[in-house]
Amino acid sequence: MRFELTIKAFAPTMKIIAPWRIWDIKSRDEEIDYAEAHNIPLAINRETNYSKDKNLWHLSHEGMDLEDPANEPMYDKILEMGVSPEKAPDKATYVTIGFEKGIPVSLNGKKTGGVDMIKALNIVGGENGIGLVDLVENRLVGMKSRGVYETPGGSILYAAHEALESLCLDRDTQHFKTQVAVKFAELVYFGQWYTPLREALSAFVDSTQQTVTGEVKLKLYKGNIIKAGITSPYSLYNEQIATFGEDAVYNQKDSEGFVNLFGLPITVKALSEGKK
């Protein structure tokens, strides 16, 4: 879907030839039979014949024992980008990521490009057992599919970005953006990147990122990503307003009218039910 819908967006009349839809090979075992018969070297064997897709962002594992959701993944057998949390160091690792308008631009105080950023975070994240995801997907064709994913660098970046947004975005924008994220992810997953809706949603997201600038410090420890400090020149957090100590920001008595009006529908419903 993703390859072909992209081709249709740029070359709508191009003929697409997909061997899997033409040949008579019906399984991965038959693929191995074909490769062996034609002396094609393979990096796997029948015992390690997981379906794997790897790129800069992640590595996915599917098939074999993972086809049964009751089976715990054999991480020591399948992992390539990192280790299981049990094998991670007993000492935490700290990373600091700098953002400018939502884009990660520095790592531990050093200006870093996107590719180098992900590569470096993949290494440190993998070493600390970060980014292991075991999930059952809802595929476009309707079936459910179980897969295990390694996304160490991506998981760290997502956690850092989300933490910074919590400081820089107003409540309504932050809450609405989480709703948009579900639809955006679905469009990407279904291969609908080159569509008007995706472009419109991207424009909304770009607008929200104008003040998402600052630094996020994270502690990586045995599969956990723990916030260790957030700073931003656009922070909406005001300690004088949020304090539990004495303040002169607003009159506490103002809350009485607000609560009464905000809770009016609940009060009316309770009265209609004969409650006193």
pLDDT tens-digit readout, 199-253? 999 999 999 999 999 999 999 999 999 999 999 999 998 877 766 666 677 778 8
pLDDT at 19: 83
One-letter identity of residue 126: G
pLDDT above 90 for 45:
no
Q: What are phi and psi of 138, to 5 degrees?
A: -105, 100
Tell me the whole-structure pTM to 2 decimals: 0.89
pLDDT at 62: 93
pLDDT at 204: 98
Residue pair 94/110 in contact (Cβ under 8 Å)? The answer is no
pLDDT tens-digit readout, 103-150? 999 999 999 999 999 999 999 999 999 999 999 999 999 999 999 999
**Domains assigned to the chain:** 1-49 (no CATH), 52-169+212-234 (3.90.1260.10)
Closest-CA residue to 146 (of 220, 67, 218, 204): 67
pLDDT at 244: 66
Residue pair 161/153 in contact (Cβ under 8 Å)? The answer is no
